[in-house]
């Protein structure tokens, strides 16, 4: 692959609802440019960008993949992304590396849930956008219906660059409105504009010229003076309109028939901004914020936007060079890890194929294998000029499972394997829950976690069983109570003796644990004070009524007895454990449960359904606000009721609802619900 300079590069991310045809479109672009000899199909698992075993078996994209396309002396780095909402982490990574969003819309379905979500992400990143209405050869396909829906939903100036010639099965080509010529068949053969379309073409071209003129002060003056804009001027205006986000060009394709692909590639070269057009790169330097010019002469700054772990190839790091040049067989400094990395051969990735390149110029995207310290979101730079680029903004996980290894061999490999798959996908997280003593794997939804578990088995040969995680309850007391316990053990040799008098007092929520000493007159030596505290803390970790940690109590030792010979550290630990259990049972013990603050965003028509469902979940609704045509509901809900809410919300809103949740506080479990939890714990103890 040739060397491409910054102005010759276009970094484009394919976004859209699942099954809108993004992967097929990437395949058509590769084929049209001559990068591949024949077009693969999603249905039979032969596409370039869906190469993972799970992607092939499920026939959907699960990971972002790169497809560099060489066209008209430019290189278009196409990033194909999943449309299924569980894999939003891949989309966020791709958006961070791109300069243009190519929003793919199904010509039959129009604006769907995923379209709206992807649009929101594009707005967050403030990316220039181009729309492709795909599958124009399907029954009931239309340009005008999706176009109208885009305008109504997003309220922006969507302007067609082309018009389709023929509809549905008769879709045969398109009319280029800038050049005023028909381009027919996959080869884009130039033909006359069909006479019945002449009026429609002039009308659409007028709207296009207006959008181009409005983006450039010089052009608008010329246009208002009634002068005709040249083809070159229209292109200049449209390029500015895309960059300033004042207009969004719309193209049409039928990717599987390879129709409209050439016009799309031409449009990307003509109108998609190069990395240089996007202006200075904002980075954090040692002395605060720096604005770095995106060119080869600037200090090196490359952002790692994806990491893949493979047991055979090792770790593969995908990066985008924001300034400077990255050379093969060189060194770069990781500003987060504060370590120097040795870079071996640099690659340009085409699906899973690694194409070696000597260097990556400013703005280019590539990969390097076997970096030691580098993770997703890290910046590679010059040691003498450390920089930190903003990494992808990943959402917090919404769905959790408890994972338990099937065999002893799986147990040994579980931790390292979980770490590797979470490095690869930052929207996956794992942790050991000390409260429930479970290993928890969290992700964006059921399918997301299920695929992660399959990858652990297929790639790393680690088999696990999954279950709904236990709720991390806590135990506390509601009143002051005091009692005593004597530990006496007489064996053949030295005996054990300790007597402890203990008072427990409830503390405010979140206060933790306090330990007090009110023993006077030397009834217990001060040397045993820490032994008693140690015994108390052991019981507090294990719980008294249901096996959960005890919190928010003050334990005060106020009296006791010791023996000159038989009193020792272990005797006072045992006495402390037993007296704590005894006193706590008399101090009104209760269970506390985690209450989460949940924010749910749904289209207005689903508000009633959501409210009804929340009422069944012991929720306290804090408020409802309107945001455009959406309702934003805030509620406090017990975690016990929210374990599978990602699945519930999807079914209640046909996938159009979003939610986030964060721990707010702990409060008492109602007695009728606490009793079964306590009884279940007692049964487990008996079985053990």
pLDDT tens readout for residues 201-222 = 999 999 999 999 999 999 999 9
- Residue pair 145/110 in contact (Cβ under 8 Å)? The answer is yes
DSSP letters of 141-184?
Answer: --SHHHHHHHHHHH-S-EEESEEEES-GGG--EEEETTTTEEEE
Query: What fold, for 281-381?
Result: Elongation Factor Tu (Ef-tu); domain 3 (2.40.30)
- Residue pair 210/223 in contact (Cβ under 8 Å)? The answer is yes
- Res. 599: pLDDT tops 90: yes
Grouping H, G, I as helix, E, B as strand and the rest as coil, residue 482 is: strand
Structural domain boundaries of the chain? 6-190+247-271, 281-381, 401-416+428-467, 475-587, 591-672
Retrieve residue 633's tokens.
């509901």
pLDDT range class, residue 479, cuts 50, 70, 90: very high
Q: In the 3-class helix/strand/coil scheme, how is 558-577 assigned residue by residue?
A: EEEECCCCCCCHHHHHHHHH
- Res. 312: pLDDT tops 80: no
* Residue 492 confidence (pLDDT): 66
What are the residues whose beta carbons fall under 8 Å from the beta carbon of 632, sequence distance 6 or more?
599, 600, 601, 624, 625, 626
CATH of domain 401-416+428-467: 3.30.70.870
Instruction: Give CA–CA dist 342/369, Å, rounded.
Output: 10
Query: What fold, for 591-672?
Result: Alpha-Beta Plaits (3.30.70)
Instruction: Give CA–CA dist 17/112, Å, rounded.
Output: 6
Crossing angle for the helix pair 217-224 and 231-244, nearest 10 degrees? Answer: 130
Region of residue 349 (phi > 0: left; psi between -120 and 50: alpha; otherwise: beta):
beta
Retrieve residue 363's tokens.
């703005």
pLDDT digit string (tens) for 635-683? 999 999 999 999 899 899 988 888 999 999 999 999 999 999 999 988 9
Tokens 């490359």 locate to: 302
Crossing angle for the helix pair 113-125 and 144-154, nearest 10 degrees? Answer: 50
Instruction: Give CA–CA dist 531/522, Å, rounded.
Output: 16
pLDDT digit string (tens) for 221-233? 998 998 999 999 9
pLDDT digit string (tens) for 246-288? 999 999 999 999 999 999 999 999 999 999 999 999 999 998 9
674 compared with 685, residue with greater pLDDT: 674
Query: What fold, for 6-190+247-271?
Result: Rossmann fold (3.40.50)
What percentage of the chain has pLDDT greater than the value 70? 99
Q: Fold match between 401-416+428-467 and 591-672?
A: yes
- Res. 577: pLDDT tops 90: yes
What are the b/e assignments for 551-578, b being 16+ CB within 10 Å? bbbbbbbbbbebeeebbbeebbbbbbbb
Instruction: Give CA–CA dist 638/91, Å, rounded.
Output: 31
* Residue 566 confidence (pLDDT): 87
Sheet holding 65-71, edge to edge: 65-71, 74-80, 9-16, 100-106, 129-134, 248-252, 158-160
At residue 361, φ and ψ (nearest 5 deg) are -75, 170
Query: What fold, for 475-587?
Result: Ribosomal Protein S5; domain 2 (3.30.230)
Mean pLDDT of the chain: 95
Instruction: Give CA–CA dist 486/75, Å, rounded.
Output: 82
Average pLDDT in the 292-310 region?
Answer: 94
- Res. 508: pLDDT tops 70: yes
Instruction: Give CA–CA dist 567/555, Å, rounded.
Output: 21
Instruction: Give CA–CA dist 244/503, Å, rounded.
Output: 70
Instruction: Give CA–CA dist 414/211, Å, rounded.
Output: 57
pLDDT digit string (tens) for 38-89? 999 999 999 999 999 899 999 999 999 999 999 999 999 999 999 998 999 9
């Amino acid at each position: 692959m040739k060397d491409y300079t910054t102005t010759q590069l276009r970094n484009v991310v394919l976004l859209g609802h699942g099954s809108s045809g993004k992967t097929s479109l990437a395949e058509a672009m590769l084929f049209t440019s001559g990068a591949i000899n024949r077009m693969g199909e999603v249905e039979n698992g032969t596409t370039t960008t869906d190469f993972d075993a799970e992607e092939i078996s499920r026939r959907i994209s699960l990971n972002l993949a790169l497809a560099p396309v060489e066209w008209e002396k430019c290189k278009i780095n196409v990033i194909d992304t999943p449309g299924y909402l569980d894999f939003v982490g891949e989309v966020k990574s791709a958006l961070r590396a791109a300069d243009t969003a190519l929003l793919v819309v199904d010509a039959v379905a129009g604006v769907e849930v995923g379209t709206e979500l992807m649009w929101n992400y594009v707005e967050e990143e403030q990316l220039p956008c181009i729309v492709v209405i795909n599958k124009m050869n399907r029954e009931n396909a239309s340009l005008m219906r999706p176009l109208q829906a885009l305008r109504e939903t997003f309220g922006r100036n969507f302007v067609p660059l082309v018009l389709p010639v023929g509809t549905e099965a008769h879709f045969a080509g398109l009319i280029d409105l800038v050049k005023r010529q028909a381009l027919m068949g996959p080869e884009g053969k130039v033909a006359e504009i069909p006479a019945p379309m002449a009026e429609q073409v002039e009308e659409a071209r007028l709207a296009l010229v207006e959008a181009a003129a409005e983006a450039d002060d010089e052009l608008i003056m010329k246009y208002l003076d009634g002068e005709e804009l040249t083809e070159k001027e229209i292109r200049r205006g449209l390029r500015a309109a895309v960059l300033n986000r004042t207009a969004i060009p719309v193209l049409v394709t039928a990717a599987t028939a390879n129709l409209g692909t050439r016009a799309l590639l031409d449009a990307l070269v003509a109108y998609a901004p190069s990395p240089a057009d996007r202006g200075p790169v904002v980075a954090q330097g040692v002395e605060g914020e720096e604005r770095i010019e995106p060119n080869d002469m600037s200090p090196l700054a490359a952002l790692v936007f994806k990491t893949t772990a493979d047991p055979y190839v090792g770790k593969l790091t995908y990066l985008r060079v924001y300034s400077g040049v990255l050379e093969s067989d060189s060194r770069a400094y990781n500003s987060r890890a504060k370590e120097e990395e040795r870079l071996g051969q640099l690659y340009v990735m085409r699906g899973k194929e690694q194409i070696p390149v000597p260097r990556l110029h400013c703005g280019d995207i590539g990969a390097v294998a076997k970096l030691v310290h580098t993770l997703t979101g890290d910046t590679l730079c010059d040691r003498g000029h450390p920089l930190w680029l903003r990494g992808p903004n990943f959402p917090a996980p919404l769905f959790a499972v408890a994972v338990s290894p099937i065999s002893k061999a799986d147990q040994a490999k579980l931790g390292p394997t979980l770490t590797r798959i979470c490095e690869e996908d930052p929207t996956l997280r794992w942790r050991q829950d000390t409260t429930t003593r479970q290993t928890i794997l969290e992700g964006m939804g059921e399918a997301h976690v299920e695929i992660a578990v399959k990858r652990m088995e297929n790639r790393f040969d680690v088999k696990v069983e999954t279950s709904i995680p236990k709720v991390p309850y806590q135990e506390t007391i509601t009143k002051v109570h005091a009692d005593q316990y004597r530990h006496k053990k007489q064996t053949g040799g030295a005996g054990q003796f300790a007597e402890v008098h203990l008072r427990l007092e409830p503390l405010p929520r979140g206060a933790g644990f306090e330990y007090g000493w009110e023993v006077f007159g030397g009834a217990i030596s001060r040397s045993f004070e820490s032994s008693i505290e140690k015994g108390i803390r052991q019981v507090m970790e294990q719980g008294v009524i249901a096996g959960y940690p005890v919190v928010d109590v003050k334990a005060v030792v106020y009296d006791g007895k010791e023996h000159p010979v038989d009193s020792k550290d272990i005797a006072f630990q045992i006495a402390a454990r037993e007296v704590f259990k005894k006193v706590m049972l008399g101090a009104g013990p209760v269970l506390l449960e985690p209450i989460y603050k949940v924010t749910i965003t749904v289209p207005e028509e689903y508000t009633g359904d959501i409210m009804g469902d929340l009422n069944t979940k012991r929720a306290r609704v804090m408020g409802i606000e309107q945001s455009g045509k959406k309702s934003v509901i805030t509620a406090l809900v017990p975690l016990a009721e929210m374990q599978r809410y990602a699945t519930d919300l999807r079914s209640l809103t046909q996938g159009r609802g979003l939610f986030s949740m964060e721990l707010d506080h702990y409060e008492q479990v109602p007695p009728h619900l606490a009793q079964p939890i306590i009884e279940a714990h007692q049964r487990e103890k008996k079985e053990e």
